[in-house]
Amino acid sequence: MKTAHVYHLCDIILGGIALLFSAATFAFALLGVDDLPTDVRSESHAHHVAELCPHLPANEQPECLAWLRQGGRRG
């Protein structure tokens, strides 16, 4: 004897919502959208750049250091 699977409308709706949420999360991850506050990203990025400045070619070092003096903001 076969067992009948009964899917209720509520189960289908909840499954659809879960699928949409997963797809949206995956899309945001692919697009590189991150939810870190801007100041945290800027601070860590500036620290990373400060470590790289001495290793840049001599003609790029002044621009790197000027960028750091401006607080790591795009001009």
**How many folded domains does the chain comprise?**
1
Residue 10 amino acid letter: C
Q: Nearest CA to 42 among 68, 65, 75, 60?
A: 68
The pLDDT value recorded for residue 70 is 76
Residue 56 lies in a domain: yes
State the residue range of the domain holding 64. Answer: 38-69
Residue 43 lies in a domain: yes
**What number of residues does the chain have?**
75
Residue 44 lies in a domain: yes
Residue 29 lies in a domain: no
The pLDDT value recorded for residue 41 is 60
d(CA 39, CA 37): 6
pLDDT in tens, the chain (75 residues): 566 567 788 888 999 999 999 998 888 777 775 555 555 566 676 677 778 778 888 888 888 878 777 766 655
pTM value?
Answer: 0.37
d(CA 30, CA 57): 33
The pLDDT value recorded for residue 72 is 64
Dihedral sign, Cα of residue 13, residue 18, residue 22, residue 24:
positive
